[in-house]
């Protein structure tokens, strides 16, 4: 049997195990990758590979940025900054039609500037935003949909775990990826907010106006947003200048985040312990997916499938943009049936060489992939953000959350189209500034 065919069989076996045996995605990739390497080489060679490989992944300096970015988000989360951010944004946007939904999206964006996880953002913002919107009789679809869509910004806006993993996996600069992400994040945030305006235009009764705040109230609400802005600015400045590594920038923002929470007496001992244990748990889950994908990727590389696929695709008589959309459709379908980060890592060994062979910029492709991955979090049937929102809202059924989220899908597709129309002005103009 030729190498690439073994690779294709390996992918089918991996999906079969993943979907039918309830084995976690990370374990499946690791197991099938290990068995695949055994088949292609020998059991002894596979054993000799897996030990050092796992050690190299676990002790990879670049990956230590992950626990640090998760920890700073956890400190801010348990420090109760979600409330402060929500009420501060509410003072500015609450009096518009659908203003509370806009508030939710803007507060999600602000929280995402310090948290790299959409699940943390969904859980955090659901607890504040949903009761508030219920109080003002917002339609459940607008209520839950806006929280779910807003929460997806958690993995998009830097520091984004998806971008970190993408950068480490493909060898791209995290600083460049984060800076290249600023404009796409802004575009998507604006488009999601614009969707709320559109929904309220079509259904004015879905998002009634809230009371108007005075300028004094608005100004008074700003100081706590400044804490978050400082943390965000430190991360971005440090990465921009290149004087520190991404891990050091994340660690410094972590230490500062902890100090701010302690000075402002926002973090309790219980919250501190919960921050640490959540960080360990989430970091471990991400590390294991990276480890699984690396071992599975090594098996695919041995079969030469990614290279053969890339060269085959390049012989097809189709425009590059059509091929790119085929890749993106694969991501959208993949995001519908399994966790987007896991799918990203499973697919990167195949799609990344392919997209590079088409001549696309890796930093730009990272942003497009990040948006499509982000969208997966609200796509039925397994959109994780919708599950979290439905879990937190209790009386809003999951179906309503999914239906509410569907309104925002065009925002993601338009964002991707804008990125494709002008890669330079949307991504490269800022990423090229990073040293």
Which chain residues interact with other proteins by CB under 8 A? Answer: 18-27, 30-31, 34, 47, 50-52, 54-55, 58-61, 63-64, 67-68, 71, 238, 243-244, 247-248, 250-252, 254-255, 258, 273, 276-277, 279-285, 287-289, 337-339, 341-342, 381-382
193/293 with CB nearer other proteins: 293
254/310 with CB nearer other proteins: 254
Instruction: State how far the Cα of 419 lies from the Cα of 427, in Å rounded to an integer.
Output: 8
54/413 with CB nearer other proteins: 54
64/185 with CB nearer other proteins: 64
Residue 3 has, within 13 A of its CA and on its CB side, a CA count of 15
Q: Supply the minimum distance, in Å, between the C-beta of residue 373 and other proteins.
A: 13
39/136 with CB nearer other proteins: 39
60/320 with CB nearer other proteins: 60
Q: Supply the minimum distance, in Å, between the C-beta of residue 417 and other proteins.
A: 28
Return the H-helix or E-strand segment holding 170: helix 161-170
Total residue count of the chain as it appears in this document: 435
Q: Supply the minimum distance, in Å, between the C-beta of residue 288 and other proteins.
A: 7
Q: Could you tell me how many helices (H) and strands (E) the chain has, helices first? A: 25, 0
295/372 with CB nearer other proteins: 295
Q: Supply the minimum distance, in Å, between the C-beta of residue 274 and other proteins.
A: 11
Of 342, 341, 365, the residue nearest 354 (C-alpha): 365
Instruction: State how far the Cα of 146 lies from the Cα of 195, in Å rounded to an integer.
Output: 9
38/320 with CB nearer other proteins: 38
3-state secondary structure of 433: coil
3-state secondary structure of 260: helix
1/20 with CB nearer other proteins: 20
Contact 111, 299 (CB under 8 A): no
Residues 6 or more apart from 427 whose CB is under 8 A from it?
180, 181, 183, 184, 361, 363, 364, 367, 419
Q: Supply the minimum distance, in Å, between the C-beta of residue 76 and other proteins.
A: 14
Q: Supply the minimum distance, in Å, between the C-beta of residue 142 and other proteins.
A: 27
Residues 6 or more apart from 179 whose CB is under 8 A from it?
236, 239, 240, 430, 431, 433, 434
Of 91, 68, 116, the residue nearest 223 (C-alpha): 91
Q: Supply the minimum distance, in Å, between the C-beta of residue 43 and other proteins.
A: 10
- Buried/exposed code over 373-400 (b: 16+ C-beta within 10 A; e: otherwise): bbbbbbbeeebbbbbbbbebbeebebeb
Q: Supply the minimum distance, in Å, between the C-beta of residue 279 and other proteins.
A: 6
Q: Supply the minimum distance, in Å, between the C-beta of residue 175 and other proteins.
A: 15
Of 169, 144, 165, 143, the residue nearest 155 (C-alpha): 165
Instruction: State how far the Cα of 18 lies from the Cα of 24, in Å rounded to an integer.
Output: 7
């Amino acid at each position: 049997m030729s190498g690439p065919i073994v690779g294709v069989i390996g992918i089918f076996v991996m999906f079969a195990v993943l979907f039918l045996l309830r084995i976690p995605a990370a374990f499946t990739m690791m197991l099938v990758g290990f068995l695949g390497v055994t088949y292609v080489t020998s059991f002894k060679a596979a054993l000799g590979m897996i030990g050092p490989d796992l050690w190299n992944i676990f002790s990879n300096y670049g990956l230590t940025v992950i626990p640090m970015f998760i920890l700073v988000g956890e400190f801010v989360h348990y420090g109760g900054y979600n409330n402060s951010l929500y009420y501060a944004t509410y003072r500015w946007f609450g009096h518009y039609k659908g203003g509370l939904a806009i508030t939710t999206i803007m507060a999600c964006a602000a929280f995402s500037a310090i948290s790299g996880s959409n699940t943390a953002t969904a859980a955090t913002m659901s607890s504040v935003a949903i009761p508030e919107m219920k109080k003002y009789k917002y339609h459940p679809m607008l209520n839950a949909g806006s929280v779910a869509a807003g929460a997806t910004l958690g993995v998009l806006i830097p520091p984004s775990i998806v971008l970190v993993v993408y950068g480490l996996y493909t060898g791209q600069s995290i600083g460049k990826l984060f800076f290249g992400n600023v404009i796409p994040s802004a575009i998507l945030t604006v488009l999601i907010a614009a969707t709320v305006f559109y929904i309220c235009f079509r259904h004015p009764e879905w998002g009634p106006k809230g009371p108007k705040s005075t300028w004094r109230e608005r100004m008074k609400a700003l100081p706590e947003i400044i804490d978050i802005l400082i943390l965000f600015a430190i991360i971005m400045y440090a990465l921009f200048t290149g004087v520190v590594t991404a891990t050091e920038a994340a660690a410094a923002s972590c230490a500062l985040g902890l100090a701010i929470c302690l000075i402002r007496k926002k973090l309790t001992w219980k919250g501190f312990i919960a921050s640490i244990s959540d960080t360990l748990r989430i970091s471990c889950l991400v590390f294991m997916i990276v480890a699984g994908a690396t071992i599975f990727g090594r098996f695919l590389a041995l079969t030469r499938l990614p290279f053969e696929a890339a060269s085959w695709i390049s012989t097809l008589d189709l425009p590059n943009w059509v091929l790119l959309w085929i890749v993106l459709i694969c991501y959208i379908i993949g995001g519908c049936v399994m966790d987007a980060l896991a799918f990203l890592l499973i697919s990167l060994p195949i799609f990344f060489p392919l997209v590079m062979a088409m001549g696309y910029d890796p930093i730009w492709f990272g942003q497009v992939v990040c948006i499509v991955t982000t969208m997966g979090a609200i796509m039925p049937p397994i959109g994780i953000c919708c599950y979290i929102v439905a879990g937190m809202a209790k009386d809003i059924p999951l179906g309503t959350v999914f239906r509410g989220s569907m309104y925002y899908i065009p925002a993601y597709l338009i964002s991707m189209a804008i990125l494709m129309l002008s890669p330079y002005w949307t991504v490269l103009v800022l990423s090229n500034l990073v040293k």
